[in-house]
Amino acid sequence: MIMVWWHWLLIGFLLLGLELLFPSFPMIWFGLGALLTGMIPALFHGNPVWIQVVAWIIISLCFTHLWRNYLRPKKEQKLQLRNIVRR
The more confidently predicted of residues 42 and 38 is 38
Output the CA torsion 20→26→27→32 (10° steps): 110
Flag whether pLDDT at 62 surpasses 80. Answer: yes
Output the pLDDT for position 12.
96
Q: pLDDT per residue over 10-35, tens digit each?
A: 999 999 999 999 887 789 999 999 99
For the chain, the structural domain boundaries read 5-86
For 2-29, give one letter per residue: b (16+ CB within 10 A) or e: ebebebbbebbeebbeebeeeeeebbbb
- C-beta neighbour count of 46 within 10 angstroms: 6
